[in-house]
Amino acid sequence: MRNALLSFLAVLPLAVAAQVVETSSARNGNVDVPVEIARPAGAGPFVPLLFIHARRGYEDEERAHVRELASQGFLVLAPDWQKGRLIDRWPVPHDPETEGDVEAALDALLRRPDVCKGPVGVVGVSRGPYYALRLAAKRPQDIGAIVAYYGHFQNPNAPEPAQIYSIAPEVQTLRAPVLMLIGEQDFELRRLSNARAFYALWDRGVPVELQMYPMARRAFDFRRDQSPEEKTATRHARQRARDWLQRWLPKC
């Protein structure tokens, strides 16, 4: 009884903040991709966001993040790119077929009558920004801005030398403004990848900012053992992401 009450109290503020939460699916060939949609109250239209989760899976922390984005005025569609293909949590190799699943979710978002017409924003976590890179390279007209939380800027299946010394070729064609958020104590390889992508984008004149959070570890924003500094970093990151998306995405 106590656990049920605690679960109810934990969910209640999120539901109030998000106002409306829906579950649906997006079809990609013979795969039904589960999606969750969170939007503010009212008829809209709202600025659309695509939320792409990390390889750990789409869990309570991701749901809280999606609802927080909705409370900021965005309509957020989040595909579960693992569940539709029965992929276990924490997969090491990248399955290119899941890119089509995420693209199907983008199409579903663009078709909604309650979103602004025009490009969408993408918020990606860890491996999520790699999907964003691939989408933005393939469909630049549909991606208006990207927020990358400690993101992959290299193909996860690339050989080790490429992981260490280079970045994904899609970075060289990217036009969408990119905000990178990462802790200074994240994996060295991930910090190097973000840094190289930052310089490559800046050299080409693409709007880009890299926010490095002092004393923040890997996955600083949803760690269950967050330090006081990481809690502050999380609040700061959420505000920076909101401001970035509002700055670069078209208004309704």
pLDDT at 249 over 80: yes
CA–CA distance, 79 with 224 (Å, rounded to integer) = 23
- pLDDT recorded at residue 82: 98
- pLDDT recorded at residue 252: 87
Q: Put the strands of the sheet holding 143-149 in their side by side order.
A: 20-28, 31-39, 74-79, 47-52, 120-125, 143-149, 178-185, 208-217
Tokens 């998000």: give the residue: 18
Q: For 21-44, how does the pLDDT look when each residue is reduced to its tens digit (9 = 90+)? A: 999 999 999 999 999 999 998 889
CB atoms inside a 10 Å sphere around CB 115: 21
Domains of the chain with CATH codes: 17-248 (3.40.50.1820)
Query: What are the two backbone dihedrals, phi and then psi, of residue 193, each rounded to the nearest 5 degrees?
Result: -60, -45
Q: For 139-172, how does the pLDDT look when each residue is reduced to its tens digit (9 = 90+)? A: 999 999 999 999 999 999 999 999 999 999 999 9
Give pTM, 2 decimals. 0.92
